[in-house]
A and B are shown apart, each in its own frame.
Chain A
Amino acid sequence: MSNIPKDLQYTQSHEWIRRLGDGQVEIGITDHAQGSLGDLVFVEVPDVGRRVKAGESCAVVESVKAASDVYSPVNGKVTASNTELASRPELLNQDPYGAGWLMRVELDAAAAAAPFLSAGDYANTLAEAAG
């Protein structure tokens, strides 16, 4: 059973979004995602100032058995990225919703209402996939 905090929103590709107010969001990957990857050995976060588009790969997480792209759920500009993960990728495994955050993004003004999943919907998609 993976941890799925109720106060966050989610995507089908296992990213979470935390609204910070002021048109800013914080993004990471879920407990389920970090569990299936296994012990992370490397995390590549985007440069501050980079523009990202929804659906575009913006980060990479790598374990010994897999390397996965992280897809930006939003359009915007990266205002901060978690450089701590470069030396301590295990933070993401230990605390995927806290210390393991990946980046913060300032949303584009004209950002459409995004079709994110609630915690409950995300939990359902996991249950369905498990079959």
Chain B
Amino acid sequence: MAFIPHTPDDVARMLETIGVQSIEALFDEIPAALKITALDAVPPALSEMEVGRLLMERAARDGRPLNFIGAGAYEHHIPAPVWAIATRGEFYSAYTPYQAEASQGTLQLIYEYQSMMCGLTGMEVSNASLYDGASALAEACLMAVRANRASSSRRVLMPRAVNPTYAKVAAAIAGNQDIGFEPVDYDREQGRTLLDALQAYSGQDFTALVLQQPNFFGNLEEVGALSDWAHANKILVIAVVNPTSLALLAPPGRWGADIVCGEGQPLGIPLSSGGPYFGFMATRMQYVRQMPGRIVGRTLDVEGRPGFSLTLQAREQHIRRSKATSNICTNQGLMVTAATIYLSLLGAEGLERVAAASMQRTDDLVTALTRVKGVRAAFSAPRFHEAVLLLDRPVAPVLAALAHRGIVGGLDLGGSFPELGPALLVCATETKLDTDIGAYAAALSEVMTQSRAGAAA
């Protein structure tokens, strides 16, 4: 019996102690009409060996194409110790640290994580994680509505240069509480949000402005100027940031963010088809009681010894119930464990090397690909480690042909940004070698030559 250790002797003794004749008797409170006796639609049990074979076959079917997509999930080298330690049973199979004295490992780790996120973002307090970057943005919008007493409109300015899926998720989650989102267009030539576009809203009541840095296209926004405009209009600034980029870019705490959030996946978390990742959130101390999620604090025990425990729990669902800052309970603890170990192994210097190498590799990729006839760069703004390329023909068939050659070439932007025409979002991180970039360029050249420009493939 998989994972159930009872021998027939155990069962007999236990039934005797309970005072029933059979295990079935323990279910005598369930109305007979409701009882089922078998789950025939579920396949029979597999041994570990058999399930291993099955999974390995399926994994082999999926293979490992060469990946050049970013768009919110980034392929970085994950140091070997990260998952070797994170999958230790003491981290992997521990629960949320409610019994602090039995969870000092997890609690201290989270405290270190909070400290690192504060250091990276330039903010004063971080929570212990939310589910992912997109839902973290939704929570940040809800938090801004709670925190911004100067505004009653419950409207959030959402530039189009913010990840469109994040905008959808924010609407799906925050929309139920009558929060409205106002899109702000981006400049077609630069590929970022201009001050002019915001100034159209000067003097109107908005609760928050979302600024993504780098933005969804990979371009650097003029965050200082945009943030200053927001504050002059009593609008809170929500920054959505890439943690790797913070090794090189000015931290949002410096350029005026009131709430910072984003996707922590680049910090030692594998791509794994989209999850589990983790969302991070940090803010100024004045807003700490409005911030959702768990928080760990350092304190003393009865003998004056330092230790760690969950704190400010009165904001959370298990105490405040319908008036909680959020309904979140389980978050993404194991991913935070991995990210903390990752940041410790890389340190500031290593993270800067990863960020710089990724920027350079993307630059090299753009150079190589734009040499192919029919491919050009879309935008003029400075960028981090992603770029938008414009093609002279539909993108989907080109991507399909590349996939056929074992290359995942990028993200087709046609769905969310049809005004750009055929556009592709590409990314190259430190994991891409010269040979990888060369292979992509060669494959693209072949594909573009084979199909005629402008014709559907």
Enumerate chain B residues within 8 angstroms of A64, measured Cβ to Cβ.
311, 313-314
The answer to whether A65 and B323 have CB atoms under 8 Å apart is no
Most buried by A among B311, B314, B323: B314
A41 to B319, CA, bound (A): 15
Interface residues on A, range: under 10
A63 to B312, CA, bound (A): 9
Enumerate chain A residues within 8 angstroms of B432, measured Cβ to Cβ.
none
Enumerate chain A residues within 8 angstroms of B323, measured Cβ to Cβ.
67, 69
A41 to B314, CA, bound (A): 10
Smallest CB–CB gap between A41 and chain B, Å?
8
Enumerate chain B residues within 8 angstroms of A69, measured Cβ to Cβ.
323
The answer to whether A65 and B319 have CB atoms under 8 Å apart is yes
A109 to B182, CA, bound (A): 43
Is B289 an interface position by the 8 A CB rule?
Answer: yes
Smallest CB–CB gap between B285 and chain A, Å?
13
Smallest CB–CB gap between A71 and chain B, Å?
13
A69 to B322, CA, bound (A): 12
The answer to whether B313 and A42 have CB atoms under 8 Å apart is no
Contact residues of B between 267 and 320, Cβ < 8 Å to A: 289, 311, 313-315, 319-320
Enumerate chain A residues within 8 angstroms of B320, measured Cβ to Cβ.
67
Smallest CB–CB gap between A58 and chain B, Å?
14
A27 to B313, CA, bound (A): 27
Is A66 an interface position by the 8 A CB rule?
Answer: yes
A69 to B319, CA, bound (A): 12
Smallest CB–CB gap between A68 and chain B, Å?
9
A69 to B320, CA, bound (A): 10
A64 to B310, CA, bound (A): 10
Enumerate chain A residues within 8 angstroms of B313, measured Cβ to Cβ.
64-65
Q: Using CB atoms, name the residue of chain B closest to A65.
A: B319
Enumerate chain A residues within 8 angstroms of B289, measured Cβ to Cβ.
42
Is A108 an interface position by the 8 A CB rule?
Answer: no
Q: Using CB atoms, name the residue of chain B closest to A63.
A: B314
Enumerate chain A residues within 8 angstroms of B311, measured Cβ to Cβ.
64
Enumerate chain B residues within 8 angstroms of A65, measured Cβ to Cβ.
313-314, 319
Enumerate chain B residues within 8 angstroms of A62, measured Cβ to Cβ.
314
Q: Using CB atoms, name the residue of chain B closest to A37.
A: B314
Enumerate chain A residues within 8 angstroms of B319, measured Cβ to Cβ.
65-67
A66 to B313, CA, bound (A): 8
A63 to B289, CA, bound (A): 13
- Chain A 37-53 interface mask (CB, 8 Å, partner B; 1/0): 00001100000000000
Smallest CB–CB gap between A55 and chain B, Å?
16
A67 to B315, CA, bound (A): 7
Contact residues of B between 314 and 348, Cβ < 8 Å to A: 314-315, 319-320, 323
Q: Using CB atoms, name the residue of chain A closest to B309.
A: A64
A42 to B311, CA, bound (A): 12
Smallest CB–CB gap between B15 and chain A, Å?
38
Contact residues of A between 55 and 92, Cβ < 8 Å to B: 62-67, 69
A63 to B314, CA, bound (A): 7
Smallest CB–CB gap between A101 and chain B, Å?
22
Q: Using CB atoms, name the residue of chain A closest to B318.
A: A65
Smallest CB–CB gap between B101 and chain A, Å?
15
Enumerate chain B residues within 8 angstroms of A42, measured Cβ to Cβ.
289, 314
A67 to B322, CA, bound (A): 12
Enumerate chain B residues within 8 angstroms of A63, measured Cβ to Cβ.
314
Smallest CB–CB gap between B79 and chain A, Å?
38
Most buried by A among B311, B315, B319: B319
A65 to B315, CA, bound (A): 10
A42 to B313, CA, bound (A): 12
A64 to B319, CA, bound (A): 9
A63 to B319, CA, bound (A): 10
A124 to B308, CA, bound (A): 42
Q: Using CB atoms, name the residue of chain A closest to B321.
A: A67
A65 to B320, CA, bound (A): 9
Contact residues of A between 13 and 55, Cβ < 8 Å to B: 41-42
Q: Using CB atoms, name the residue of chain A closest to B314.
A: A67
Enumerate chain B residues within 8 angstroms of A41, measured Cβ to Cβ.
314
Query: B residues touching A (Cβ–Cβ < 8 Å)?
Result: 289, 311, 313-315, 319-320, 323
A-B contact pairs, 13 of them (CB 8 A): A41-B314, A42-B289, A64-B311, A64-B313, A64-B314, A65-B313, A65-B314, A66-B319, A67-B314, A67-B315, A67-B319, A67-B320, A69-B323
5 additional A-B pairs beyond A42-B314, A64-B313, beta carbons within 8 Å, are A65-B319, A66-B314, A66-B319, A67-B314, A69-B323
Query: A residues touching B (Cβ–Cβ < 8 Å)?
Result: 41-42, 62-67, 69
Q: Which 5 A-B pairs have the closest CB atoms?
A: A67-B314, A62-B314, A67-B320, A66-B319, A67-B319
